[in-house]
Amino acid sequence: MKGSHPHIEGSLKTYHVWDKSVRIFHWINVACILCLIGVGLAIFYNKSLGVSADGKILLKTIHVYIGYLFALNLGWRFIWFFLGSRHARLGAILPFGKKYTQSLLQFIKGIKSGDLPSYNGHNPLAKPMVTLLFILLSTQAVTGLILAGTDLYMPPIGHKIAQWVSISEQGNGETVILKPGSKENIDKEAYQEMRAFRKPIITTHKYAFYTLIFAILLHIAGVIVSEIKERSGLVSAMFTGDKVHAKKPVDCDKEE
């Protein structure tokens, strides 16, 4: 595997772990989440902030466009689960199987004894957290795309939503164009049906957001603790792609 062979730096060995695609995904994801949180909170507290109705629509539109980048970036990462390097693949992340149970028990034993096994990829305690993060990110992406259609009539389903809630056609036979935030040309009954359809989706989006924030804080705490205890360059690895180990990682290829 290209770039996987270690070189010696004193008593440490350097291993290439995260390929460029994983690192780019990670930092785009971080930037998108921070922006989405900031704009999302501004939308949520729009009245307290004195945001006008048009300003709220603008904030929602910005939120959606950031969400498109977030969803595209996440979609690419799912493709990379099957095309990426060894530690980028789905099998290296999911916390399942007999081998995983064994490695988890061994890792917990190492925590108790103070002799932690080294891992190039995610350690057994990190895998459930990373899996949870991807589930929550996916939930936010899917529900967010649906809400973009129900709120602003934006892609991918905005056209269908607009057809659902609008009056069938204008007197001259032309298609009705709906303006986000306006009730003009809206079929009231259809609109209420759409809002009922939207309600559980926005509830899911809201509570998945709260859960995601909590999971991110746990993730950051876990990274800090791992960096202190393992001293493998966990944080810098997301910039350089490389980790350092004083002993051979458990998940290291035989040829490494």
pLDDT score recorded for residue 253: 64
109 belongs to a structural domain? yes
The rounded percent of the chain whose pLDDT value lies above 70 is 91
Copy the structure tokens of residue 4: 């996987």
Phi-psi region of 94 (alpha: psi -120 to 50; beta: other; left: phi over 0): beta
Q: Which of 43-57, 147-161, 222-236 has the lowest mean pLDDT?
A: 222-236
Average of pLDDT values for 174-198? 88
255 belongs to a structural domain? no
- Say whether pTM exceeds 0.85: yes
Q: Which of 35-44, 52-61, 182-191, 208-217 has the lowest mean pLDDT?
A: 182-191
154 belongs to a structural domain? yes
Does position 255 have pLDDT exceeding 50, yes or no?
Answer: no
Q: How many domains does the chain have?
A: 1
pLDDT score recorded for residue 83: 95
Smallest Cα–Cα separation from 95: which of 86, 83, 104? 104
State the average pLDDT for the chain: 89
Q: Tell me if 162 sits within 8 A of 38, measured CB to CB.
A: no
DSSP 51-94: --HHHHHHHHHHHHHHHHHHHHHHHHHHHHHHHS-GGGSGGGT-
95-141 per-position pLDDT tens digit: 988 889 999 999 999 888 888 888 999 999 999 999 999 999 999 99
Average of pLDDT values for 153-164? 94
DSSP 150-186: HHH--TTTHHHHHHHHB-S--TTSPPP---TT--TTB
pLDDT score recorded for residue 246: 84
Range of the domain at 144: 7-245
207 belongs to a structural domain? yes
Residue 114, phi then psi, degrees to nearest 5: 85, 10
Does position 76 have pLDDT exceeding 70, yes or no?
Answer: yes
Which CATH number covers residue 78? Answer: 1.20.950.20
Q: pLDDT class for 215, splitting at 50, 70, 90?
A: very high
251 belongs to a structural domain? no
